Amino acid sequence: MDLSRIPAQPKPGLVNVLVEIPAGSKNKYEFDKDLNAMALDRVLFASVHYPYDYGFIPNTLADDGDPLDGIVVMDQPTFPGCVITARPIGMLEMIDGGDRDEKLLCVPAEDPRYANVHSLKDFDPHRLEEIAEFFRTYKNLEKKVTEILGWKDADQVAALVDECIKACKS
């Protein structure tokens, strides 16, 4: 898979998310650059599963040294390697392994069920808590610590995406 062909932002206000882990999975897949393929990184130790499709925005570089993470809320899971054009509606800020680690919360750009969802204000607060709880606890049995700092709304996402695109190019 040639990631250089997948733009981070296909249009202003949208991002491409390359799915690594489908919703409902306990398997943590990661794109392995050396293999040029999806590979199983590990199976989650805890009795939890990814609440929504999870992956990254290609051609970005976040502060943790990896591409910017993205969560895509959908009614059905996709599959590892699927590219979803999505609209960021906010981001979860957290610390993972001592590094700042933001996760964009997105909805599919082409799903009419989410056509009116443009910010966290348009999203169910309980679902936000479920997502935060997953990332707060999913590494506990691995004896790894994560810290949830909170949610930021859509108006603060564009600057982060731009920053991560620029960092990848430099």
| Average pLDDT of the segment spanning 53-58 | 99
**Looking at domain 3-169, what is its CATH homologous superfamily?**
Inorganic pyrophosphatase (3.90.80.10)
| Average pLDDT of the segment spanning 117-127 | 97
- Give the tens place of pLDDT for each residue, 30-39: 999 999 999 9
- Give the tens place of pLDDT for each residue, 101-114: 999 999 999 999 99
| Average pLDDT of the segment spanning 139-146 | 93
Query: In which residue are the tokens 């805890």 written?
Result: 46
| Average pLDDT of the segment spanning 159-165 | 96
Q: Which token pair is 119?
A: 């910010």
Instruction: Please tell me the pTM assigned to this model.
Output: 0.96
Confidence at residue 82, expressed as pLDDT on a 0 to 100 scale: 98
Please report the beta strands in the chain, taking only residues with DSSP state E, as ranges in sequence order: 15-21, 27-32, 37-43, 53-56, 69-72, 83-96, 99-108, 146-153
Spell out the domain ranges in the chain. 3-169
Decide if 105 contacts 90 (C-beta within 8 A). Answer: yes
Length of the chain: 170
| Average pLDDT of the segment spanning 82-107 | 97
How far apart CA 134 and CA 50 sit, in angstroms, is 8
Confidence at residue 108, expressed as pLDDT on a 0 to 100 scale: 99
* 78 alpha-carbon distance from chain centroid: 14
| Average pLDDT of the segment spanning 115-144 | 97
* 86 alpha-carbon distance from chain centroid: 11
How far apart CA 75 and CA 170 sit, in angstroms, is 37
Give the largest CA-CA distance in the chain.
41
Decide if 81 contacts 19 (C-beta within 8 A). Answer: yes
pLDDT at 10 over 90: yes
Q: Which token pair is 99?
A: 């590094």
pLDDT at 170 over 90: no
| Average pLDDT of the segment spanning 51-72 | 97
